[in-house]
Amino acid sequence: MQKAVNTKLKSATTKAVIYCRVSGAKQVREGDGLGSQENRCREYAKYKGYDVLDVFTDDMSGKNSARPGMQSMLGYLHMTASKADPIVVVIDDISRLARGLTAHLELRTSLAAAGGKLESPSIEFGEDSDSILVENLLASVAQHQREKNGEQTSNRMRGRMMNGYWVFAKALGYKFEKRQGHGKLLVRDEPIASIVIEALEGYASGRFETQAEVRRFLESMPAFPKDLPNGQIRQQKVSKMLQRILYAGYIEYEPWGISRRKAHHEPLISLETFERIQERAKARNIAPARQDINADFPLRGTLVCTSCSGSMTACWSRSSTGKRYPYYWCMTKGCDLHRKSISGKKIDSAFDSLLQSVQPTKGIIDLTTAMFKDAWSQREDQVKAVRDDIHKQMKDLDKQLDGLLDRIVETSNPTVIAAYEKKIMKLETEKQILLDKLDQKAKPNHTFEQMFELSMAFISNPWNIWKNGTLALRKTVLRLLFAVPLSYSRENGFRTPQVTVPFEFLGSFTEKCKLVRSERLELSRVLPHSDLNAARLPFRHDRTPWMVRIV
């Protein structure tokens, strides 16, 4: 008899589920909003004698009714509840269900259709007109609070941006840190920051001809975050990175009417470099570098046929024994050398000899270093004059801006006003570039030795960099050393290459020099700057050490 009564009481127990929601994942990580809501709902269910079957949660805004936790709960109610045996849905507050009147009404209808009955320790839901009115008023108040909070947050963010601080998600190469007097400030995030600098400056200087080359460079950097599982990066990510004025130390945001202004964070590139990037991005499209240029054929794309001046291609060839051999050949139809292969090892060996011949002696390198130091000293003397000139240009720009502003006040023609505003924006950009240049004309961040270490290493021995460098560094050597593609003959090897200006300068120095054995003579005197500009340095074409005396 007692067992039958207990079974009847157990079957009569009201079933319930709990729904909890916070506005974002950050509240889940840093707070206990979900836990406190669940505890309050469980106390209410225990007081009412409900049997809690499950708990459903969400961590997203309440203006949208399509939330994962809510949809899971509705599916559970459809499978479990019925009209004869509804399930109570317990929420902590009406704002936890939704913070918008439309979303609230949609969810109320969906809960009723699924067999759910809404209850809360904060409000009594009813079906009479007065209860529905109060419920709708509370839902409207929750919507107003959400919208008001959004307005206040936007206003605070806009005010902070007007003061020169970035308030949105951090850009690649930066991270947020709390700094005294600034709050959260963007700071460099290494090693990503250095990778971003190399990519941006490489595109601005022409080292990377296209954005596709920038993307492949970033994909080759293990430390740079990738978009796709296969280690690739979306092209849209590269385009966005090239357009971000944030990297130049400035901020702007047109939707809030915030014009370009100097920011407090450290720039990664100069404003002049940024403007050069925008000019290159708007210029005509250039065919991207071939993706099949690899370490096996570093000269591919640089060699041309001596017969037709057409580009030579390359690939591996497999013999009957299964061994692989590298070959270059001309693919130009009608050429005398069409599809006549040349051993890749033969070309590589000849190119090594060519690079080793373009190697100045130690005495010439010392003289070149002295020239650089002299130019460095003169550059330091010129800095003051340049700064004075920039100040003068800025004063002229300020006068032009004041004149245009006076004209805008005097006119009422919308077309004229728009033209003046466009001119003002252009002048403001020019002024910002001058200010950026003024900052760059401060004391150098590095010493002479640090600034010219890599340059002197390249000039003194480009073959060593070619031998030990990566594919990207080898391609850079080709661009810096040779002014035009290299012409190769099957019979005579490489023709005399046309080198770039620095190496042409060094190579022509022999016209005003006499070469003698190093053990017989020392450098007789130090040249004045005027003589250094006129002098030219020789290349060493054999293994004999030479010194130089000006005659």
Q: Any idea where the domains of the chain sit in the sequence?
A: 12-149, 174-282
- At 397 the pLDDT is 79
Q: How confident is the model at residue 196 (pLDDT cuts 50, 70, 90)?
A: very high
Which residue type occupies 222?
P
Q: How confident is the model at residue 530 (pLDDT cuts 50, 70, 90)?
A: very low
Q: How confident is the model at residue 186 (pLDDT cuts 50, 70, 90)?
A: very high
CB atoms under 10 Å from CB of 550, counted, come to 16
217 Cβ partners below 8 Å, 6+ apart? 198, 199, 202, 208, 472
Query: Quick one: average pLDDT of 34-50?
Result: 90
CATH class entry, domain 174-282: alpha beta
Supply the pTM of this predicted model.
0.51
Residue 195's region, left for phi above 0, alpha for psi from -120 to 50, else beta, is alpha
pLDDT exceeds 70 at position 153: yes
- Backbone torsions φ then ψ of 17, nearest 5 degrees: -130, 160
Q: State yes or no: cis peptide before 86, omega within 30 of 0.
A: no
Which residue type occupies 150?
G
- At 441 the pLDDT is 54
- At 246 the pLDDT is 92
- At 536 the pLDDT is 38
Contact between residue 452 and residue 374 where contact means Cβ atoms under 8 Å apart: no
User: Does residue 56 sit in helix, strand or coil?
Assistant: strand
pLDDT exceeds 60 at position 247: yes
Rounded to whole angstroms, the Cα distance separating 214 from 212 reads 5
Residue 511 gets which letter from DSSP? G
Rounded to whole angstroms, the Cα distance separating 296 from 467 reads 13
Rounded to whole angstroms, the Cα distance separating 411 from 309 reads 62
Long-range contacts, stretch 274-280, CB < 8 angstroms, 24+ apart: 274/200, 274/204, 274/245, 274/247, 274/248, 275/429, 275/433, 276/204, 277/200, 277/203, 277/204, 277/242, 278/243, 280/203, 280/204, 280/206
pLDDT-above-70 percentage for the chain:
75
| CA atoms within a 13 Å half-sphere pointing along the CA-CB vector of 449 | 0
Architecture of the CATH domain 12-149:
3-Layer(aba) Sandwich (3.40)
- At 504 the pLDDT is 64
Least reliable range by pLDDT among 254-258, 492-496, 538-542 = 538-542
Q: How confident is the model at residue 19 (pLDDT cuts 50, 70, 90)?
A: very high
Which residue type occupies 481?
L
Least reliable range by pLDDT among 3-17, 275-289, 398-412, 504-518 = 504-518
pLDDT exceeds 50 at position 450: yes
User: Who wins on pLDDT, 86 or 436?
Assistant: 86
